[in-house]
Structures are given as C-alpha cells and as structure tokens.
Amino acid sequence: MGRLEIIWFCILVILGIIRSATMERFLNIVYYFAFRADAKFTYYTYKYTGVFKLLNTPYMKRRYEKGGIKDPVAHLMDVWANPKTGMSSFFVSALIGGGHGIFLLGIHIWLEIYTYLPDKLDLYVIISYFVIAFVFNFMLVWHKDKYLKYFKEFDKKPRAWKVKWKWISIGVILFPFVFFFMSMLL
C-alpha cells in the first residue's frame, strides 16, 4: 500500500465519520472542555501574574477609556474567553486539529514499521495529514458554528456529567501526542 492509498483511505474513513452525529457530539464535548480549561488557565495566569493589576492602573484605565472601553479587565477576558471570537477558540482549535494531525502521522509511522511502506515521510504527506485533520474538525465542530449550540447545551448539564467528560476530554487530547511519541520510539 503506497502513501497515496493511505491518504485516500484516511480521507474515506474521515468522510464516513463526519456523517456520524455521535462523533460530532463527542468532538464538541472535547472542544467544550478544552475551551473552558484554556479560558480558566488564561484567567488565573493573568490574575496571578499581575496583568489585572497593571490594567487597573490609572494610566491604563485612561488609555482604554480613550478607545471607548470602560473595564480593561473585562475587555481582556472577552478577547480571550469569548466562545465566538476569543483567542482561546483559536488556540484550542489548533491544539485539537494538530492533535489529530499528529495522530495520523503516528499511524503512518506504525504502518511504515509493520508494512512495506518506504521509510520516508515527504512534506506533502505530512501537510496532507494536517489538512485532513483540520477539515475533519471544521466539518464536525466549527462549520455553521455548531459548537455554540453545543456550548449552550453543555452549560446546562449536571456537575457529575461535567466531571466525567472533563477527564475523558483530557485523555482524548493527550492520547494523540502520547501515541505519536511512542511511535517515534519504535
């Protein structure tokens, strides 16, 4: 099986998965908890590093008021933690999409070891895996802002459900990276 056949196989598998409503819900749950974790991490980082104190100085308040912003801290948190336009959305998108791309690379490395694939990863193969991963995530999470609908639904869930899925999400996010590095050790 050549590289091109593997890439087409991955594309066909992903197209089959994209049609699955269960997979869409699962990825949106993972995205929800990754987004929340990043937003909380950003908040506590700013709070304990003195960024909030710096923004509350008279000089910074005057500077922000010239731009029409009354509360610089609230504005900064909106820039980071707004689900629709916040920087946390972009960071988590890259983390999850990159994780899927790395997972596909790990599968490719395993296939090179245990099959008769040539022992060479070309740049176009690496780029195609990441493109496949980002298209996969786009179709299941970000297309037509599906994640915003799921965010509203998941906010209403009970605490026990959130704790369970938080741990599952951590595992799902870490697994591709662990798998890739383990495949590099072979």
- Mean pLDDT rounded to a whole number for the chain: 77
Burial zone of 133 (CB within 10 Å; 0-12 exposed, 13-18 middle, 19+ buried): buried
Name the residue among 136, 174, 175, 137 with its Cα closest to residue 10.
136
| Domain residue spans of the chain | 3-48+88-185
pLDDT band at 32 (very low <50, low <70, confident <90, very high): confident
Name the residue among 34, 54, 18 with its Cα closest to residue 139.
18
Q: Is the pLDDT of residue 69 over 60?
A: yes
The full length of the chain comes to: 186
Question: What are the contacts of 71-78 at 24+ separation with CB within 8 A?
Answer: 76/46, 76/51, 77/42, 77/43, 77/46
Q: What is residue 21's predicted lDDT score, i.e. its pLDDT?
A: 72
Instruction: Tell me the mean pLDDT in the region 39-58.
Output: 76
Distances (CA, A) of 156 to 64, 112, 128, 140, 147: 35, 46, 38, 21, 14
pLDDT band at 104 (very low <50, low <70, confident <90, very high): confident
Q: Is the pLDDT of residue 139 over 80?
A: no
